[in-house]
Structure 1
Amino acid sequence: MASGDDMPTFKLVLVGDGGVGKTTFVKRHLTGEFEKKYVATLGVEVHPLVFHTNRGPIRFNVWDTAGQEKFGGLRDGYYIQGNCAIIMFDVTARVTYKNVPNWHRDLVRVCENIPIVMCGNKVDVKDRKVKAKAITFHRKKNLQVRRDFQTH
């Protein structure tokens, strides 16, 4: 946890395959708008997200990482000093869920004991390939998973 002011600030690392919706997820929380057009993230983008809690506001500096393989060599540097992480996959693309263990392995290699949440994205799309009952990786690694929900 770092703080440039009195607001508690955490580095949140957002990882997952390219195209799973990481940047759209962040921008939806920042602006309330939904971007349909896919533009690949190059390297990393950092976005501050402030949440208001009953103990006051907290800031997550979200490190939105590129999911494409060609940026793999840079990732460890983005993970350093991460306080928490989200591993995102696309429920309409089974391979993105199959890659969750790889993302988890890479994260815990750099950030041993950080809290990690697994997030299945695009639950609003009808052509779902990863069914809720098939999502079991989190049980093996004690990760937090929320049942289907949508942000509006």
Structure 2
Amino acid sequence: MALLSMVAIFKCFLHSLTCCIPLLYLSIKCCQTCAFVLIYLSAFPPLLLMSHCFMFPAGKTTFVKRHLTGEFEKKYEPTIGVEVHPLDFSTNCGKIRFYCWDTAGQEKFGGLRDGYYIHGQCAIIMFDVTSRLTYKNVPTWHRDLCRVCENIPIVLCGNKVDVKNRQVKAKQVTFHRKKNLQYYEISAKSNYNFEKPFLYLARKLAGDQNLHFVEAVALKPPEVQIDMAMQQQHEAELAAAAAQPLPDDDDDLIE
């Protein structure tokens, strides 16, 4: 009995420690022409995943503000000039929280310092499907990210797929195939595929492909309605393109 009591006390002690340790550091970084999310992992307490993230344009602010918890509990950190939005998700393994950092635009002036990337564990790179320039900048963000963080799981997201006049066609998105990245088409304003990048990264970081969300994500009501027939056509184009040989480069998108 004494041994069991000591074990129970020790478990409680460990739980009290782990509940105070942020698990991830999720940063969404972008510039006027691209965005990405960088995640830092410091610990993995059982049934709890916590993260911090930076956010920058290509729809990044709209993206993070769709999540109700992130908007209601946001805080400003004056020492580093960012607004922090906590995003909560419920999974079969427990609660996950991503702290998303909005960098207030300092990345527009000459890029970001390496210090923003250090200890990053995974990332979301975002571009705007209505702007070819944002897709052109994806390789730059990917290169800078990998130069500091090396081999981390990365998701590429094409945002604003609700807009009919898209400039970057689904079949033209090939960078993820060249770099072995996961790719999702998303729409922040319609909430389309909002949770998929977070679920993919949570599974990668937890090392559990069976991890799944058990509750609907608390999102604001959609501001626009996505044309699902059109989006299904885009998804079919993506699938067809995946079976084709890769082009030598993506410069054709910028002409």
Structure 1 residue aligned with 2:147, among 102, 106, 109?
109
1:63-103 superposed Cα distances (whole Å, 9 cap, x missing partner): 3444743051x442221222211111000000100110000
The Cα shift of 1:109 comes to: 1.1
Q: Could you list the runs of 4 or more consecutive aligned residues of structure 1 that deviate by over 4 angstroms after TM superposition?
A: none
Aligned pairs for 1:23-102 (under 5 A) are 23-30=61-68, 44-65=82-103, 66=105, 68-70=107-109, 72=111, 74-102=112-140
Task: List alignment gaps of at least 5 residues for structure 2.
Answer: 1-16, 33-56, 72-79, 195-221, 223-255
AA paired with 1:108? C
Is 1:16–1:100's contact at 8 Å kept on the other side of the alignment? Answer: no
Q: Hey, what's the Cα distance between the residues in 2 that align with 1:56 and 1:119? A: 26
Structure richer in helix, relative to its length: 2
Structure 2 residue aligned with 1:5, among 16, 19, 23?
19
Answer 1 or 2: higher relative contact order, Cα 8 Å, separation at least 6.
Answer: 1
Higher Cα Rg, which structure:
2
Q: Hey, what's the Cα distance between the residues in 2 that align with 1:31 and 1:47? A: 8
Q: Hey, what's the Cα distance between the residues in 2 that align with 1:106 and 1:86? A: 13
The Cα shift of 1:14 comes to: 1.5
Structure 2 residue aligned with 1:126, among 143, 164, 170?
164
The Cα shift of 1:31 comes to: 5.4
TM-score normalized by the length of structure 2: 0.49
Structure 2 residue aligned with 1:14, among 16, 21, 28?
28
The Cα shift of 1:125 comes to: 1.2
Structure 2 CA distance for partners of 1:148 and 1:121, relative to 1, 3 Å: closer
Q: Hey, what's the Cα distance between the residues in 2 that align with 1:46 and 1:120? A: 23
**Identity in percent:** 66
Count of residues in correspondence between the two structures: 141
Structure 2 CA distance for partners of 1:143 and 1:56, relative to 1, 3 Å: same
Q: Hey, what's the Cα distance between the residues in 1 that align with 2:58 and 2:95? A: 28
Q: Which moved more, 1:58-67 or 1:110-119?
A: 58-67
RMSD of the TM alignment (CA)? 2.7
Task: List alignment gaps of at least 5 residues for structure 1.
Answer: 34-41
Q: Hey, what's the Cα distance between the residues in 1 that align with 2:84 and 2:160? A: 22
Structure 2 CA distance for partners of 1:96 and 1:69, relative to 1, 3 Å: same
Structure 2 CA distance for partners of 1:108 and 1:63, relative to 1, 3 Å: farther
Is 2:69–2:87's contact at 8 Å kept on the other side of the alignment? Answer: no
The Cα shift of 1:32 comes to: 8.8
